[in-house]
Amino acid sequence: MSETLTPGHQIIQNMLTAIKTRDLAGILNTYEESDDLYVFLEGPRWSSRTYTNVSAGWTAWYGADLEIYDHDWVEGPAEITVGNISSLQGIINLHTKSPAQEKILKFRGTWVFRLGADGQWRIMHEHVSAPLENPYGTGDWKKA
């Protein structure tokens, strides 16, 4: 028996499935078509703003022959919903291939969703990041 997913978790699951099956329209359908859309992506760029730019970025991603073929949650995800805004956050591994390499990208992911007038939740903010290796030069300040 499969578990019932929260709305945000279902959206991200839908997005990851669309990425794996190379369904560009399915990916773009998870985003809010808005000038408010703001995405901090995995790089090398820092961000994309507006639906038009995010759409262009995903289109170019496919043209670059990149692939995400699997994923697994390392921690979470956890979802918080208040009114018509919801967020999903967790640590995830993406199993990736490119012409240059095959590797697992581990990152923190946070997605913020807004419930639209059509009754659908869509991504209005996406933030993908990884910890800096040693930002202060002192190692981890929280000792075990």
Determine the pLDDT at residue 1: 45
Between CA 38 and CA 64 the distance in angstroms is 22
Mean pLDDT of 3-27: 94
Q: Under a CB-based contact definition with an 8 Å cutoff, are residues 107 and 130 in contact?
A: yes
- DSSP-assigned beta bridge partners for residue 68: 96
Q: pLDDT tens for residues 74-98?
A: 999 999 999 999 999 999 999 999 9
Question: For residues 57 and 28, what is the distance between their CA atoms, to the nearest angstrom?
Answer: 10
Identify the structural domains of the chain with CATH numbers, from first to last.
7-129 (3.10.450.50)
pTM of the model: 0.91
Predicted confidence band at 46 (pLDDT cuts at 50, 70, 90)? very high
